Amino acid sequence: MRVGIVCPYAMDVPGGVQFHVRDLAEYLLAAGHHVSVLAPADEDTPLPPYVESAGKAVPVPYNGSVARLLFGPVTAARVSRWVERGEFDVVHVHEPISPSLSMLAMWACEGPLVATFHTSNARSRTLSTLQPLMQSGLEKIRGRIAVSEAARRFLLSHVDMDCTVIPNGVYVDDFARAHVTPGWRGTPQRPTIAFLGRIEEPRKGIAVLLEALPQVLLSYPGLRVLIAGPGDPREVMSGQPEQVKQACEFLGPVTDEQKASMLHSVDAYIAPNTGGESFGIILIEAMSAGAPVIASDIEAFDAVLRGGLCGALFANEDPSSLAGQIERVLRDGDLRARLRSAGLQRAREFDWSRVATEIINVYETVIAAEPRPAMMEEAAPSTTRRGMRLSAVRQLRRLTGGD
C-alpha cells in the first residue's frame, strides 16, 4: 500500500500529534508499506528519509496553545504536487480542521482520504468561522478517526460528522525495557517525581504542580522534582519559595531514550494539565515505563486512567488535592505497586500492534469502497494534473478573499 500522511505541526517541535505520525509511519514501513510524510520543518532540521519538508512553519495560536503551522498559496501548490507525485492508495491527514498543511491536503486530494481528529475543545471559534469554506473538503473524507470519545463528540457537535475512535499508539515494550538512570532513581528519603511538557504553556499545568510542592515538602523535605521539556526555567520559577527552587531539577528537552529512562526511574509521574487534552499519550508512556501516574481529573485523563483504577486522580487546578495525592502515592508502596501493574496492563491496550491494525483496517475499507480512479490521464493528462494542482490554491483564495 502507498500511504501519504500529512502532519500539520512542525516536526522539529515535540508534540503528541508529531509522535503519533512518526510512530505510525515507522510501523507501516516496518510492515512493508510505502510511506511518505509531509510536514513543516526548518531547513536545518534533520528528518527521517520518509519525511518531506513543506517549508518553515510559523507560530499560530491554536487549541489553547501556540502551534507551529504552515499555510498559504505557495504551500498549497507544494501540497498538490506532493499528492500528485505520490500516487498514493490512501492519504491520511491529521487535524484537517486546523489552518495547516492538512487542510490544504484535504482540498488537494482526489482519491481515498482518511482523517484523524485530535482536538477536543468544547468550543472552537476558528472552526465555526471556517466551516462553510471547509465543507467541500470535509465531504471528501471517507474514513474519519477520533483519538478519544472527547474528540469524537467535538467533531459531532461542530461539523455533524461521526468517527471511529482509535486512540494514539505507544511502543509499550520500548518503555517497559528502558534502563534505569541511577541519578534519577528515588530513595525513601529522597523520592523523585517527574513532569514533562512545554513549561511555559499554561495548560500543561506546571504552575499547579509548583503550588502543590510546599505542602508535599513538609512531609518529604528531600523530594526531587525532575522537570523535562522546552522553555525557560527562570520564568516559571520566578517568585517561587526557596525550598521549591531547591527541589526542582530542570532537564530541558529530552530524547525519546531519556524520556523512557526518566519515566522508568521515578517514583511517580505527575500530569497536572488543566485542559485542552483530547487523549494523554504521556500517561500511556509513563504507565508503559512502570511509573505510577498522578493526573488531573480532566475528561481525557479520567478516561485513560479508567476513573482512577490505573492511576491516581486529583481535582483539576487544585494544588492541595494534587499535594494530597502525591503524598498518598509516595507513602504507600503497595499502592505504587498496584498502580504500576494496572497501568502496564492498561497501556498494552494502546500498543501500536493493536492501534496500527485498526488504522490499516480503515485504510483498506476506504480503498475498497472508493477504488482509485483512472484519473482520465489517457484522455487529458496535462489538464487533469493542472486541475489537481490548482484545487487547493483555489480553495485557499476563497478562504482568504484573494483573486
Q: Please give the domain boundaries of the chain with CATH numbers for all domains.
A: 2-169+351-400 (3.40.50.2000), 172-350 (3.40.50.2000)
Write down the pLDDT at residue 59: 64
Note whether 364 and 181 are within 8 A (CB). Answer: no
Cβ-based neighbour number of residue 1 at 10 Å: 15
Write down the pLDDT at residue 124: 52
The DSSP result for 221-278, as a single string, is TT-EEEEESSS-HHHHHTT--HHHHHHEEEEES--HHHHHHHHHHSSEEEE---S--S
Write down the pLDDT at residue 393: 52
**Interacting residues of 362 by C-beta distance below 8 A, sequence separation 6+:** 114, 143, 145, 164, 166
Residue 37 has pLDDT above 80, yes or no: yes
- How much is the average pLDDT of 301-324? 97
Residue 63 has pLDDT above 70, yes or no: no
Write down the pLDDT at residue 383: 42
> Pick from 270, 170, 192: which is nearest to 229 by CA?
270
Who wins on pLDDT, 99 or 198?
198
Write down the pLDDT at residue 131: 61
Write down the pLDDT at residue 72: 76
- How much is the average pLDDT of 228-242? 94
Note whether 96 and 115 are within 8 A (CB). Answer: yes
Cα–Cα dist 181/174, whole Å: 15
Who wins on pLDDT, 117 or 381?
117
The full 3-state SS of 137-149, as one line of letters, equals HHCCCCEEEECCH
> Pick from 344, 310, 328: which is nearest to 193 by CA?
328
Write down the pLDDT at residue 365: 97
pLDDT band at 137 (very low <50, low <70, confident <90, very high): confident
Residue 386 has pLDDT above 90, yes or no: no
Residue 179 has pLDDT above 70, yes or no: yes
pLDDT band at 158 (very low <50, low <70, confident <90, very high): confident
Write down the pLDDT at residue 378: 45
**What integer best gives the mean pLDDT of the chain?**
88
Residue 265 has pLDDT above 90, yes or no: yes
C-alpha cell at 331: 507513602
- How much is the average pLDDT of 196-225? 96
pLDDT band at 42 (very low <50, low <70, confident <90, very high): confident
Whole-structure pTM value: 0.84
Three-state DSSP class for residue 210? helix
Amino acid identity, position 204? K
Note whether 294 and 183 are within 8 A (CB). Answer: no
Write down the pLDDT at residue 371: 60
Any alpha helices (H) in 93-248, and if so which ranges?
A: 101-108, 125-138, 149-159, 172-176, 206-219, 233-237, 242-247
Write down the pLDDT at residue 88: 97
State the sign of the Cα–Cα–Cα–Cα dihedral 119, 120, 125, 128: positive
Who wins on pLDDT, 321 or 381?
321
C-alpha cell at 204: 500543561
